Amino acid sequence: MNILTFQITEKDIEQYAVISGDTNPIHLDIDAAKQHGFPDRVAHGMLTISKVLGVLSNDVLSPYEAITDYNFSFSAPVFAGNQITLSIKQTKNSISVSGECEDKKVIKGFVRLAE
Amino acid sequence: MRTKDHEIMFSSEKVQEFVQLTGERNPIYQSIDKAKEYGFKTIPLPPAMPNIVYQWIEIPWKLEHPVILRKQNCVLHQRMFIGERYRAVVKVTDQNKRQHHFFVQQTLCIYNRDGQLCFEGISDLIAGGLS
């Protein structure tokens, strides 16, 4: 099993809002996030997934390996500044991923690869 | 509920912005020449990138804040590339209300010019409302 880490910064969240057009205030405005019961700005779910796939692309896959599908679920929000530790287990045509932040599971899922 | 069809196209610049954000160093995203070295006709899209098309689609329903993604399932039926025309549509494929939360499933489908399905992104969301 591989253990890899990445961080989601405030700048990442702001940049993802620009790239995706998702300007939901819980991602960008700490007061709006607090109004909805969150302690800080919440990272876009697709930003976290994009970063997970980026880590896999850099450290697990070869340049021409194709992902055919991916499936992730969130068990807790990821906040600006969080560092996520991924536990990655690869079998022949799939990779299972589990991500924790401060000993709390935040994301879990799998990626399938083309044969 | 479903949106109208929208024609979309991805540029090399958008791919560069996307991979700079995600930190992907895969050379196939860096230039057309590099992509060709690895056997691609041009720069392919990173697998999470098709989801950004939501910003270009006029959605006739409104999800009230806060909107939280709780599950995402994406199927990449065919590789997608920069500079090609695609057609995108979003549908509400499931919805129900539990207590004060709306559970909404939206599905984004992207087709190529021949009408073949290239990408399917199923997003399970929790929203403050759906109107």
Question: Residue B51 CA to chain centroid, in angstroms?
Answer: 2
- Using 50, 70 and 90 to split pLDDT, how confident is the model at B130? confident
Look at residues B22, B108, B75 and name the one whose alpha carbon lies nearest to residue A70: B75
pLDDT in the model for residue B100: 81
Mutate to test the interface with A, among B74, B79, B106 (most CBs of A within 10 A): B74
- What's the mean per-residue pLDDT of chain A? 96
pLDDT in the model for residue B9: 97
- Using 50, 70 and 90 to split pLDDT, how confident is the model at B129? confident
Residue carrying the six token digits 């019961």: A37
The whole-model pTM stands at: 0.96
Residues B11-47 have pLDDT tens digits of 999 999 999 999 999 999 999 999 999 999 999 999 9
* pLDDT higher than threshold 90 for residue B78: yes
Interface contact flag, A19 B66, Cβ < 8 Å: no
Interface contact flag, B72 A71, Cβ < 8 Å: yes
Residue of A nearest to B16 (CA): A19
Residue carrying the six token digits 């939901």: A24
Assign 3-class secondary structure to B16-53.
HHHHHHHCCCCHHHCCHHHHHHCCCCCCECCCCHHHHH
* pLDDT higher than threshold 90 for residue B65: no
Q: How far is CA B38 from CA A8, A63, B44, in A?
A: 30, 8, 11
| Inter-residue contact B6 to B58 (CB < 8 Å) | yes
Interface contact flag, B21 A19, Cβ < 8 Å: yes
pLDDT in the model for residue A18: 97
pLDDT in the model for residue B99: 84
Interface contact flag, A21 B52, Cβ < 8 Å: yes
Residues A8-28 have pLDDT tens digits of 999 999 999 999 999 999 999
* pLDDT higher than threshold 90 for residue B101: no
* pLDDT higher than threshold 90 for residue A89: yes
Q: Which value does ipTM take for this structure?
A: 0.95
* pLDDT higher than threshold 90 for residue A115: no
Q: Tell whether the torsion through CA atoms of A24, B121, A55 and A64 is positive or negative.
A: negative
CA distance, residue B101 to nearest chain A CA (Å) = 13
CA distance, residue A28 to nearest chain B CA (Å) = 12
Share of chain B above pLDDT 90, in %: 92
Q: Pick one of 3.10.129.10, 2.60.40.1890, 1.10.3720.10, 2.60.40.1220 as the CATH number of B6-130.
A: 3.10.129.10
Interface contact flag, A64 B25, Cβ < 8 Å: no
* pLDDT higher than threshold 90 for residue B4: yes
Cβ pairs bridging A and B (under 8 Å) = 109
Choose among B19, B26, B48: nearest Cβ to A49: B48
Domains of chain A (ranges; CATH) run 2-113 (3.10.129.10)
CA distance, residue A92 to nearest chain B CA (Å) = 19
CA distance, residue B120 to nearest chain A CA (Å) = 9
Residues A34-51 have pLDDT tens digits of 999 999 999 999 999 999
Question: CA B6 to CA B55: how far, in whole Å?
Answer: 11
- Using 50, 70 and 90 to split pLDDT, how confident is the model at A74? very high
Q: How far is CA B52 from CA A114, B47, B119, in A?
A: 23, 11, 12
Q: State the DSSP code for B81.
A: B
Helix (H, G, I), strand (E, B) or coil at A44: coil
pLDDT in the model for residue A101: 96
Interface contact flag, A69 B72, Cβ < 8 Å: no
Interface contact flag, A54 B47, Cβ < 8 Å: no
